[in-house]
Structure 1
Amino acid sequence: MNLNEENLNRIVSDVLRKVNVVSSEVTPSSGNGAVQSARAAVLRKARELEIVEFPLRQIGPDEILVKVEACGVCGTDIHCYKSDPFGLAPVVLGHEGTGEVIEVGRNIKMDSVGKPVRVGDKIVTSILDTSDSCMIAKYNPLKSNLCDDLKVYGLLPDEPDNHFNGYFAEYLIIRPGSSVFVVNEMSVDLRCLIEPAAVVCHALERAKHCGATLNFRTRIVVQGCGPIGLLMIAVLRTYGINNIIAIDGDPSRLAMAQTLGADELLNYKDYAGIDELAAKVESLTKGLGAHFGFQVTGVPAAFASLFKCIRRGGGICEVGHFVDGGECAINPHKDICRKEITVTGSWVYNSFEYPNAYHFLQRAEGIGLPVASLITHKFPLAQIQDAFEVNLRQEGIKVVVEAR
C-alpha cells in the first residue's frame, strides 16, 4: 500500500469511525454487572413494611445507578406509613437520601449545575421534570413545584421493571429528566439533610417574596421544633436573623433549638392558653409581637394561634401542612384585616434550590451551628419498621435508615 498522506487520512478516519460506533453502543460501567438483584423496603399497606429482593435491571443511556448509603425518615414518609394518604402502596419510600454513583449512562456527562458525573461520586437527587402538559410550569417555570404531576423519588408508584424508585433500598435508579447534584465534599449525614434543607430554604424565599422585612433586627417566631422547624431556625440564624423565638412543647427539642440559633425558648405547655403565650411573645418584642412567624407544626389549631403572636403589618409563612390535617378557625377581622398581616404558603421546593440548600448547610457548620446533630437515630435497612416506629413516637429528632 502506498502510505501517502491521502491514504493515511483515510485509514485514520476508518479507525475513528469504528471506535465511535463501538463507544456509542456501550454504556460506561463500573463493573457492576455482577449485581443481579438487591433489597428494597416496600410499603405494602399502612404500617406494613417488607424487605423484598428484586431484580436490578440494566440502566439506560440517560440514567444513573446509585448505591444508596443512607436516607432520612421524613414526616411525609410517616404519613404514608400511617395511612397511605396518597394511595401509592405498594411503594418504596425515601426521598431524603444520598449515595454513590455506580454506573453512568452514556448520555450523562454533567450534573444539574455543570459538574462532571463520574463513577464514585456522591450525589443527591429528588425531583423529576414535570410533564409538558403542565400549564403552571409552561408559563411560570419558577413555580414548577406547584404542578399537580410533580414527581419526587420515594413517592413514585412501583413499576414492573423497576422497583428502585425510592431511597429505602440498596440501589436507586435515577431516571431521565431528574435533578442530580454531585456533593463529594459533604459528609453522609449532611447529605441526608439536603432535601429538608431545601424545604426551609424555599420557605425563606417565600417569606422574602411576600414582603417580609428580614434583617438583623427582625424578630421572628418559629412555631414547632421538629426537624423542619429546627432547620428553619438554623437557616434564619445563618441568614443573619438575631432575634428568634422558638415555640414547642418538648424540652429536648427546645434545647436543640437553642443550639441551632434560637434566642428565646417558649414551652407552650407552661402557659394557660394562647392569650398568655401571645402576651409572653409581646413582652419579648417590645410589646408589639413578632415581625414574622413560620408555622412548622402541621397542627391546624397551632396555625390559628400563631396570628395572635404577630404584630400589625407582620406576616406568616405556613410550612408545616404537607398533608391535610383538617381545618381551623381564625378571625378575619382581628387576625388578618385589622393587622394587615400577609400570609403565604410554602410547598416543597424547586430543583434549582438544591444548591442553595447544601451551601446553607456548609455555611451553618462554618459558623458553628451543629446541624448534623439533628440526626439522633440510625437503623439498618432490615430494621426500617423500627425506624418508622421510633419516628412515630417522636423519640429523638431525625431518624436515618442506612442501606447496610
Structure 2
Amino acid sequence: MNLPSTMRAALITAPHTIEHQEVPLPEVGPDDVLIQVELAGVCGTDAHLLEGHFHAKLPLIPGHEIVGKVVALGGNVRGFSEGQRVVLDPDLNCGTCIMCQKGMRHQCLHYEAVGVTRAGGFAEYVVAPSNVVYDASDLAPEEAVFAEPLGCVAWGITRLKPEPGSTALLYGAGGIGLLLMQALKASGVSEIAVVDTQTERLNLARKLGADHTFLASEADEQIKALFPHGFDIVTEATGVAKVQQHMVQHAIPGGKILVFGVAPEDVTIEVSPYEIFRKDLTVLGSFSLNSTIPLALRWLRSGQVKVRDLITDTLPLSGLSEAIDQKIAARAGSIKAIVSPTLILEGAPS
C-alpha cells in the first residue's frame, strides 16, 4: 500500500488549545502496527488532557478509544494482515516493574498510553505495538470503537465479582454508565436500578435493560421504598464527589461499593468508617483497564452489551473541540461522541 508522508491530526498544543495540523506519518518500528483510524471515541480523559492534567505531555495527539484498519506491519509482527480491522488497548507497560510482575500492568511504574502520553487516534493514522492490538474484523467500526471503554468496565467487573442474582444501584446513565449497567447484567446481576439527572438517558437505560430508573431529584425516597434494605452493589459512573459520598447509605450489609467515575484529583469526601465497619462493606476502586479487551470484545460479539444507540454525535477531526465541550457540559441528549477522520477525507463540512 502506498502511504502518504504526512497526515491530518488534531493536537493539544497547550492547555485549552487544539490545533489542526499536517504532521509526519508515524514511523513503524519492527514490533509495531500502523493503523488507519476509522473512528475514535471522545472520553472524559480527553477533557482532562485538554486542561493539561492526567499525564499530559504536550503537544499531544489525543484519542485512546480507537478502531481502524492495518496498513503496515513491522518486520517482527505476525498474526495481522493489511486491511484487517483492529482495536487497541492503549495502556503500554514495561513488563518488569513490581506492578507489572503483580499482574497490575495498568499500574505500571513506567506508565505510557496511546493518546495519553504518546500520539493517539485523533488523526488519520496511529502506530502501536502489536502486543496491544486485537482483531475486530467481525465487528462494525461503530461497535468496535467501544472496545476500550468497555475494557475499562470489564476491569471494574473483574474487581467487583458480582454474585449471580445480586441487585445493583448505578448512578449515572451516560456512555460509561450504560456500558457498566449492561456489563453488570451480563455478569449475573438480576435487578438493577439507575439514577440520572436526564430523562432521555433514563429512557435509554430502560431500553438497554434497566429494571428501575429514577430522576436524581426524586431518587432517595423512591429507592428506599422499593429497596428498604439496600443493594448488594452500589456503583457510579459520574465522577461527582457528592454522589460517591452518598453511596454507602444504599448498600446492604455485606454489600460492595465500586467507585468507577473519575472525580477531580483534589476533591475529598466524608464517609463514616463506622458505617463501613458496621455493615461489613467492601469498597473498591477501578482504574483504566487491565488486559480486559478480550472480555469486552466477547460482550460486543455476543450482543450482551449493545452500543449503537449510545452514539449521538459523529464529527470530523475539526469537531473535536465541540465534542470535548459537550463531554464537559454533559449536554442534554448527548451520550457518546465519536470522531471520524474520514469525514474530512470525504469532504464533509468541518
- Tell me whether the two structures share a fold, i.e. TM-score over 0.5: yes
State how 1:164-243 maps to structure 2 within 5 Å. 165-175=119-129, 178-208=131-161, 214-216=163-165, 218-243=166-191
Q: Give the residue type in structure 2 aligned to 1:122.
A: R
2:89 alignment partner, SS class: strand
TM-score, scaled to structure 2: 0.92
2:301 aligned counterpart, secondary structure: helix
| Distance in structure 2 (CA, Å) of the matches to 1:308 and 1:261 | 24
Q: 1:308 aligned to 2:249? A: yes
Assess, with a 3 A threshold, how the Cα gap between structure 1 residues 195 and 128 changes in structure 2: closer, same or farther.
Answer: closer
**Alpha-carbon distance in 1 for matches of 2:324, 2:244:** 26
- CA deviation after TM superposition for structure 1 residue 84, in Å: 3.3
1:347 correspondence with 2:266: no
Q: 2:268 aligns with which of 327, 337, 343?
A: 327
CA deviation map 1:78-133 (0-9, x unaligned): 122234343422111000111110111121112xxxxxx00000011123542255
Q: What displacement does 1:362 show?
A: 2.1
Q: What TM-score, normalized to structure 1? A: 0.80
Q: Deviations over 1:251-310 (max 9, x none)?
A: 111111111211111111125xxxxx0x4323222x211111112211111111010111
Distance 1:85 1:343 in 2: 24
8 Å CA contact retained: 1:314, 1:341: yes
Give the equivalent residue in structure 2 for 1:118. 81
Alpha-carbon separation, structure 2, partners of 1:64 and 1:370 = 28
Q: Does 1:265 align with 2:201?
A: no
CA contact (8 A) 1:292 1:315 kept: yes
Q: 2:89·2:293 contact (CA, 8 Å) conserved in 1?
A: no
Counterpart position of 1:160: none
Q: 1:232 to 1:65 in 2, by over 3 A?
A: same
DSSP-derived class of the 1:257 partner: helix
Matches within 5 A, 1:247-396: 247-270=195-218, 277=220, 279-285=221-227, 287-321=228-262, 323-324=264-265, 326-333=267-274, 335-351=275-291, 353-363=292-302, 365=303, 370-395=306-331, 396=334
- For residues 181-232 of structure 1, what are the alpha-carbon distances to aligned partners after superposition, in whole Å with 9 as ceiling and x for unaligned? 0110001111111111111111111011xxx5x213x110011112111101
Instruction: Tell me the C-alpha RMSD between the 2 structures.
Output: 1.8
- Identity, in percent, stands at 27
Q: Which has the larger radius of gyration?
A: 1
Partner of 2:347: none
> CA-to-partner distance for each residue in 1:236-263, whole Å, 9 max, x for gaps?
2223422101011111111111112111
Quickly say closer, same or farther: Cα 1:101–1:77, change in 2 above 3 A: same
CA distance in 1, matches of 2:26, 2:273: 56
| Structure 1 stretches of at least 4 aligned residues deviating more than 6 Å after TM superposition | none
Among 61, 64, 67, which residue is 2:30 paired with?
Answer: 61
Kindly provide the amino acid, as one letter, of the partner of residue 225 in structure 2: S
> What's the counterpart of residue 21 of structure 1?
none
1:304 partner amino acid: Q
Greater helix fraction, Structure 1 or Structure 2: 1
Instruction: Pick closer, same or farther for the CA change 1:403–1:268 going to 2, 3 Å.
Output: same
**TM-superposed deviation, 1:57:** 4.9
In the alignment, the residues of structure 2 paired with residue 388 and residue 87 of structure 1 have an alpha-carbon distance, to the nearest angstrom, of 16
Amino acid at match of 2:127: I
Q: Structure 1: 5+ residue runs without aligned partners?
A: 1-29, 111-116, 158-164, 272-276
Match of 1:4 in 2: none
1:151 is the counterpart of 2:112: yes
CA contact (8 A) 2:37 2:125 kept: yes
SS of the equivalent of 2:90 reads: strand
The alignment of Structure 1 onto Structure 2 pairs a total of residues equal to 340
CA distance in 1, matches of 2:92, 2:53: 24
Cα distance between partner residues in 1 of 2:74 and 2:82: 10
Q: Distance in 1 between matches of 2:62 and 2:245?
A: 32
